Amino acid sequence: MEEPRTTNREPIVATELDVKKAAAINTLLLRPIDILPAKAGDPIRPFALGLWNEIRPLLKPDVPVMSLRRSTSAFLHSKRYYHACAQPGSMRHDLAGNPVEPLSDEDRLAAQQRLITLRQTQAKATVQREEPTPPPALNKAELIRASLLGRRSDRAAR
């Protein structure tokens, strides 16, 4: 069976946006976690199952848990993270960034499906943006004026 376009067998590296998302997570914690990319070009590593239970205790005392959930969600639901999970032979990593276990075939396929869905959604949004915008709605006075002008041009053509 042919591999889908969602896999390329190369490590997926972080962009500046990925680094910003990782930095947002680390600012909420007592200490940075090494699984997150520190600079553009660092690999994006899939999290080990249950890693949230290890990250949660590192939350600064004055920071709401919901802030950490939203920050990690923004990172974990990104296209590049899904791409990293969809790779053949991709491994899950612990807090220190060390590989601990391979992703299951089910998780890899789920990541591939999510990527396909994201691409389709992005393609639909692009098509919708390319449709011409309708002319602005005319008020009643402008409609009357246009109607009268249209009649004059019809009479002139006769």
d(CA 63, CA 95): 20
**Could you list the mean pLDDT of each consecutive 10-residue stretch along the chain, which spans 158 residues?**
52 95 96 96 96 95 95 95 94 96 95 92 73 73 80 54
101 strand-pairing partners: 92
Which stretches of 61-139 are DSSP H helices? 65-76, 79-86, 105-130
53 membership: H or E segment, kind and range: helix 52-55
Torsional sign, CA 110, 26, 12, 50: negative
* pLDDT score, position 1: 36
d(CA 72, CA 22): 8
* pLDDT score, position 90: 94
* pLDDT score, position 130: 65
d(CA 137, CA 139): 7
d(CA 13, CA 100): 19
26 membership: H or E segment, kind and range: helix 16-27
CB 112, CB 4: distance < 8 Å:
yes
* pLDDT score, position 156: 52
91 membership: H or E segment, kind and range: strand 91-93
Alpha-carbon 3 to chain mean position: 22
